[in-house]
Chains A and B, each alone.
Chain A
Amino acid sequence: EDQVTQSPEALRLQEGESSSLNCSYTVSGLRGLFWYRQDPGKGPEFLFTLYSAGEEKEKERLKATLTKKESFLHITAPKPEDSATYLCAVQARGNNRKLIWGLGTSLAVNP
């Protein structure tokens, strides 16, 4: 069964304290892995798409990496405005192109 697991469920960091969020997946052929950021009461905001193992993408303090089993979202020197829930989703190959979502990691960055 296709599945996405995110860890940790919640993470609290001090401003400037770098860390990583994990997204483990099992899927019958990966078409793409997506990272989103969601603020309370708002819709998810697209961050990255990764397509193949070894691929990396960066945006400001965020860097996403992908292996055959998992993806990491590295946050370098986070700021309080990086506080949000980070969601991971995968899309499998085949006719069914629905996204399979993880439960998210709730990140709090203290000033």
Chain B
Amino acid sequence: DGGITQSPKYLFRKEGQNVTLSCEQNLNHDAMYWYRQDPGQGLRLIYYSQIVNDFQKGDIAEGYSVSREKKESFPLTVTSAQKNPTAFYLCASSMSGGENGYTFGSGTRLTVV
């Protein structure tokens, strides 16, 4: 079955460490997105990519980095520069333009300890 897979589901990180969240899709979607979801706040866009080897900053890109070396994969690195990294992270994909909606993964909950 086609879908989008995020791993791990739960992740714990010590302060000062970088950590990478995985996102893989087999939907043949061109575009991929990373969102952050915090209680009481709407989904906030971190980075997005509309084509391989190209990506753009979203609304809250500071302290994060991404790569898009393959169409299927869009990993997100949370760096030590991110001041408040504890959150629920969601990856999504869509056909180019996104007019038919996004398909989301099941999320990764990152906790800094």
Collect the chain A residues with CB atoms within 8 Å of residue B100's CB: 49
Name B101's contact: one of A41, A43, A46, A103 (CB within 8 Å): A46
**Interface SS of chain B: helix, strand, loop or mixed?**
loop
Across the two chains, which residue of chain B brings its CB closest to A31? B99
Q: A97-B97, A97-B98, A98-B58 are in contact. Are A104 and B105 (CB under 8 A)?
A: no
Which among A34, A43, A51, A102 has the highest number of chain B CB atoms within 10 Å? Answer: A43
Q: Verify if A91 is at the interface (C-beta below 8 Å from B).
A: yes
Instruction: Verify if A87 is at the interface (C-beta below 8 Å from B).
Output: yes
B1-30 interface with A by 8 A CB criterion? 6
Task: Give how many B residues have a beta carbon under 8 Å from the other chain's beta carbons.
Answer: 23
Q: Is B67 an interface residue, CB under 8 A from the partner?
A: no
Query: Is there contact, CB below 8 Å, between B98 and A91?
Result: yes
Asked if A45 is at the interface of the complex by the 8 Å CB criterion, the answer is: yes
The digit string for A19-44, where 1 denotes a CB below 8 A from any CB of B, is 00000000000011010100001111
Interchain nearest-CB distance for A35 vs B (Å): 9
Establish whether residues A43 and B106, one from each chain, have CB atoms under 8 Å apart when the complex forms: yes
Tell me if B74 is interfacial: C-beta within 8 Å of chain A: no
Q: Which of B97, B100, B104 has the most CB of A within 10 A?
A: B104
The one of B40, B98, B105 that contacts A43, using a Cβ cutoff of 8 Å: B105
Interface of A is mostly: strand
**CB nearest to A9 among chain B residues:** B40
In the complex, the answer to whether A42 meets B107 with C-beta atoms within 8 Å is: yes
* 7 closest A-B pairs by CB: A43-B104, A101-B42, A46-B101, A101-B43, A44-B104, A103-B42, A43-B106
Residues of A whose CB lies within 8 Å of any CB of B are 4, 31-32, 34, 36, 41-46, 49, 51, 87, 89, 91, 97-99, 101-104
Provide 11 A-B residue pairs closer than 8 Å at the C-beta atoms, listed in order of the A residue: A42-B107, A43-B104, A43-B106, A45-B104, A46-B101, A49-B101, A51-B99, A87-B43, A97-B98, A98-B45, A99-B45
**Which chain B residues have a beta carbon within 8 Å of chain A's beta carbons?**
6, 40-43, 45, 48, 58, 88, 90, 92, 97-107, 109
